[in-house]
Structures are given as structure tokens and as C-alpha cells.
Structure 1
Amino acid sequence: MALTEAAPTSFHSWFEAGLHAKARRDWDRCRAWNSRALELFGDPESEEFGGANPAAWNLGIAATALGDWDTARRAWTVYGIGGLEDGTGPIDGNFGLAPIRLNPDRPSLDLEVPARYGDTEVVWCWRRSPAHAVVASVPLPQSGHRFRDVILHDGEPKGSRRTGDQEVSVFDEIVRLCESGMPTWQAQVSAPSLAEVETVGDFFGERGLGADNWSGMNILCSDCSHGSPSADHHNEKPSDGTMILGLAGHEDDLARALEMWTAARPGVSVLALDLIW
């Protein structure tokens, strides 16, 4: 790029070039240009960025996108992230649950190529590294995503959500790294109490299956989604009676799990189970 030719020893030249490559999803160039910026990061830049090297973060993202786990480990270590397991294979740590915005509706960078697999939806994910996660929720089919899809995500917070007493940042999807192919189902369930239905997530999760209560799902406008939704943005939970579940898994596995789940809960019955995606 012209900027790196004009100032070939400038950290900022290579960092900006790396940002452009990141926006265009040109991961080979993003890795190369951020690697060069990493080499040019000196005391002035350290003071400017508070000691954190932003080129290391974007290098980690590019390397993760390329499956270059050795470079990703080096980048995260330079950035100051510890606790990564040794080795050259894929990073598969436990970085906790985080909400990730699928198909982001607002670009983070100029000329950005957005992820466009379907409608925007915020889902909970298991973070396996600082830049990639596995979808833990059962997304709506309109999102074009499935339970256990692997997502490359950015590190800039774009709003927040609450889990228990903790407020956690929302991150934007960059691209989908791997499709799970896990079928998505919709179940209509009759239950004497909402508490019975709320056990479904843990019960199915222990068996490697996905389950969410789709009844009373919150639909937020873009401004609220990018903020910290207050209590008045939460839809009323459905009253006891008939509820809709989103389930993910193969038919035989789901059938066995539903049979076991309902057998242990008198009064709970499955009225309908339909494959939708």
C-alpha cells in the first residue's frame, strides 16, 4: 500500500494497512502487515496505547482465521493474554460465555466486508480463544447460523448483556469459521410451570444437544442492542401452559432426550416437534 511505501519504518503505516486488510477480510495480508507492525512497536507506541500492542490483537484475529495457531499464540502472548495451553494445534481454552452478535448491523471499520448469513441476532457462545467461539444458543433459522457453529469474533465491546449478577460485553461476529450442520427443531411443549421448562437447557446440554426457550424472546432495536438493555426491555415471560422450545441435534438423539426429560417431569408433554432448519 502507498502508506507503507511512504513510511516503511512507521508502526502506524503497517498497523493501518493491517486494519484495511482486516476490514476486507484479506487474512494473509492482515497477518503479514500486522506482523511487521508488531516488529516496529516501540516505546512511543507503547506509551500511546497504554502498553498494549493493537497490532498483536489483529494479528491474533488474522492467525485464528487462517488456522495459524502458532502465530495466534505468539500474538496473544505479546498482547498480554496468559493461560494459553502449549502446543501447535488449535487453541481450545475456556474463556467463558459471551454474547456475540451474528450478522452485525453496524460496521466497525471503513470499507468493512460484513458477515451476512442472515438476520442480526445476539446469541450466547463458548469462547475458546480471545477471537473465536462456539455457538451455545440455538439461533433462530433466520440468522443463517446453527448450534455449535464456530465464529470468529472481534474484541471491541458492542453493548452488554447480563448473566445472573454479571454484565458481560457483546462482541461482533467477523466471519463464520465452521458450520456445524446441526439440525434446528422447534418443539411445542405443554408444561404445568415455567420452572419445569427452564430445566431443558442444562438437561440437553449435558447430552451435547442444544435447547433454548424461544417463548418470550426479547426483540431489541439496534440502539438498545448496542447498549445495555434495562429491565423494561425484557418481554414478559410466558405464563404456564404451552411454550415453544428451540432444539438442536439429530432426530434420534433429540427423541431420546425428550423422552427422558418428560418422563422425569409429570405433566410435561411434547405436543409437536418440527424440523425447521
Structure 2
Amino acid sequence: MSEVEYIRRLNAGLDLQESGRLDEALAKFIEAQSLDFPHSAAAVNAGLIYKQRRQWSKMHECFLFASKHLHGLVSWKRDSILWNLGLSSTALGKWTIASRMWHQIGLPISVSSDEPQLSFGDAIIESVDRKRFSVVTIDPCRGRVQEVADTADDPDLGDLVLHDVSPFEYESVGDGQRPVFELLAVLNHSRLPAYTVEVVAQSADEIAAVDSRLAKINAASNLGRVQRRQDGLRVGRVVGPQLQTLIDVMSAWELERPGRQVNSIAVEEK
């Protein structure tokens, strides 16, 4: 009887999900899961809705339940459950469970209660408004942002972000390719002091000098994007210690302190 009821409620939830009625679908999946039938489908579908809503604790409960019912699943369904349990565990700081999931999938990560600090290489994350940011990944679903944001609302230099575990595409960068992941959340803000910088360069010679110095900055590291405006001004945003690098590279210009303009650079702390 419980199997019949489980399948009936699961199918009702899938139909509601297909029609976009997610609240009702979620209720049906929860009803099916509450029957404690040894099957993972209802828990997985409920967990994916919670994932979409960034409700990490509830997502974790669903995939933890699903992970106990892996028998008979094809490998990609099994791995999907383990990936998502690892992701939700990471979001909640449950490092033992997260590392066990990565280890079980076959990644070179030891099971440990300590927060992992590894390097999985460079990647790109994409926000809901389709902005992209460079990160260095420190485990399968976390990265540290490596560039300065254009606005204070975007992930910024040094921020720790949570991203999905599977890339949805690859982007060509130089001679190689970097995976592109969906940004799920900012877990920790670096909160480095930020400044807006205005470089006044209106003549052709001055603009050429600014171009040369900014090219050196961009070649050296991922600094603030100081862009040219049509009137010949350069305006951008830099963060924390990067301000001093900007000043050092542009040594022909003078700056006394944030908020005060001297000759050709004006800086305002934000």
C-alpha cells in the first residue's frame, strides 16, 4: 500500500512541477517522502526545489535521505545525489559529510572534519543577471573571487562563493578553456575597503600615458577595471591593497590621500 501511495504522490508532484506549480509539487514530494518508502526520487525532487530556493538545510535533509537509498540506481543518478549532498554540506559547513561525498565520487579529497583549502584551478562563475567573474576554486563547489567588481552589489575580490558542482559550459581564455559554473551564493565577503578612481586624461598624450600604465596593471594582476569614458576620463573601482598598486604603477601621477584630488587622480572611498 505504501508503494502505491508513494508512486501516486510522486507522480502528482512531477505533474505539478512540470506545470510550474512548485509549492504544490514540493508538498506532494514531502508527502511521498514522509511515507518512508525506500526510494530516493521524491527526496531528490524536493531537494532540487530547495536548492533552487537556496534553502540549504532543507536541501541537505532531502539529499541525506536520498543518499541512504542508492541501491539499484544508475551511476549518474547516484553521483548526482552525492554531488548535491556534498554541495549542501559545504554550504552548511558540514565538512566531514562533504569530504566523504567527494571521496566517494572519486575526487582526491581525504575525509576530514577540517575545512578543505585546496586548489582545483581557475574557473568562471555566472550570476543570475549573467555577469561573469573569475575565481580560483578551492574545492568542488567553492571558489574565491579573483577580480574587482564593477559595483558593490557584485561578488568582489577575495569573496568566497558557492557555485554549482557541474559547469554548464566552457569559456575560451587565452590558449585554454575554463569551466563556467552557476553562482549559488556568496558565503563570505572579504569586505576589503573599496575606492572609486577617476583618472583625468583629456589630451591624446595623456590618454596614451594612462593606457600604457593601465596595461601594466592589467598584465600584472586582476585589478579594478578602470575604463575610458568618451570624454577622455578614466573611471573605475579598486579594492583594498590594489589601490596602492594602481598608485605605484601610475607613478607619473600624484595622489595624497583618498577623497582629495591632486593633479590627475581623484579617489573616493566607498
Q: Same fold (TM over 0.5)?
A: yes
**2:245 equivalent among 252, 257, 265:** 257
> Larger relative CO (CA 8 A, sep 6+): 1 or 2?
1
- Of 225, 234, 246 in structure 2, the residue corresponding to residue 213 of structure 1 is 225
**Structure-2 residue corresponding to 1:247:** 238
Contact 2:137–2:143 (8 Å) recurs in 1: yes
Instruction: Classify the secondary structure of the residue corresponding to 1:22.
Output: helix
Native 8 Å contact 2:144 2:159 kept in 1: yes
- Give the 3 Å change call, closer, same or farther, for CA 17–76 of structure 1 in structure 2: same
Say yes or no: does 1:197 pair with 2:214. yes
**Alpha-carbon distance, 1:269 to partner:** 6.9
Per-residue CA deviations over 1:18-64 (Å, capped at 9, x if unaligned) read 22222232222222221221221124432xx27x5101111111111
Structure 1 gaps, min length 5 = 106-119, 217-237
Output the CA distance in 2 between the equivalents of 1:42 and 1:67: 27
**For the pair shown, which has the larger CA radius of gyration, 1 or 2?**
2
Contact 1:85 1:91 in 2 (8 A): no
Tell me, yes or no, if the aligned pair for 1:197 and 1:213 is still in contact at 8 Å. no
User: CA 1:191–1:211 in structure 2 vs 1: closer, same or farther (change >3 Å)?
Assistant: farther
CA contact (8 A) 1:69 1:89 kept: yes
Name the counterpart of 1:116. none
- What SS class does the counterpart of residue 91 from structure 1 fall into? coil
Q: 1:140 is aligned with what amino acid? A: D
- Closer/same/farther in 2, CA of residues 73 and 139 from structure 1, 3 Å limit: same
Identity among equivalent pairs (%)? 21
More helix by share: 2
- Pairs aligned (count): 225
SS at 2:74 equivalent: helix
Q: TM-score, normalised by structure 1?
A: 0.69
Is 1:28 equivalent to 2:57 in the alignment? yes
Q: Residue deviations 1:60-102, cap 9 Å, x none?
A: 11111111111110111222222x2564221111111211113
TM-score, normalised via structure 2 length: 0.71
RMSD of the TM alignment (CA)? Answer: 3.0
- Kept in 2: contact 1:38–1:53 (CA 8 A): no
Q: Give the C-alpha shift of residue 202 in structure 1.
A: 5.8
Structure 1 85/138 Cα, relative in aligned 2: closer, same or farther at 3 Å? farther
Per mean C-alpha deviation after superposition, the further-off stretch among 4-13 and 184-193 is 184-193
Aligned to 1:97, what secondary structure does the other structure show? strand
Distance 1:28 1:191 in 2: 54
